[in-house]
Structure 1
Amino acid sequence: MGMGGKIIGEYAKGKVDKLLTPEAAESTSRHRIMHFLENMEAAVLEANCEVMGRELPNLDQTSFLRMAVRVAELRADYLRAGLKVADHRHPNASAIEELARVRRAYEEMQAVFEAAERVIERGYVKLG
């Protein structure tokens, strides 16, 4: 080979169409990967639309707002519990357990709300 480059790929006697330079092989590989990822992205979108549409027919403006209000209420509960605990320099174990309980409720509901936001932003559900 006059150019001094390496040849990689498959070789079958009489066929040279599968022999590629490393640069060409990398380009082909990148193209294959990009094509695969594009196909998977479309399949994931389709799957999410199908599943979310079937499983969450009542996700609409009313239910979304209800979740937002619930997050706000749970945040207020958490802050209220924190203020109550702050009244004592050495709060008792039950006060700390209650604080942890309301924090978990708030954080879980906040996570659900954020997941619902993503579902809506990505168009997985049809909004009326």
Structure 2
Amino acid sequence: MSYATLDDLIARAGETEIRQIADRDFDGAIDAHVIAEALAHADNLVNGYIATKYTLPFSVVPDLVRTWAIDIARHRLHHEAPPEWVVTDYDNAIAALKDVAKGAITLPIASGDTPATSSGTTMFAAPEEVFSDHALRGWRC
């Protein structure tokens, strides 16, 4: 299930703008594969941030997530030179997603959806100490 749809993009930006940025074969029609790629990119980016805090997929997409996906997809569709307001919306969406990942924003989720729980697995390990007493012998003042 995609977080946003073509209708969502049109509601946000208008059909004229979406046609202009998604008609890559210049036949006057919105190219479905271009929209699908932009929406998939937005879904993947959103999932990358929120999967750290929430179990996916959501049974009901929160409105905030839909809004962020729309802004990310719209930015992707403006692939050559997005207008300043599109860049601002994209930057705000990414900042909000980072806040979700940090736990600064909690999404209003349906009762059946649950926040992700830690598996207790170590995701990374620190390297061995580089500047140990042994490694620095002879370099002290």
Tell me if both proteins adopt one fold, taking TM over 0.5 as the criterion.
Answer: no
TM-score (norm 1): 0.26
Q: By percentage of residues, which structure has more helix? A: 1
Larger Rg over CA atoms: 1
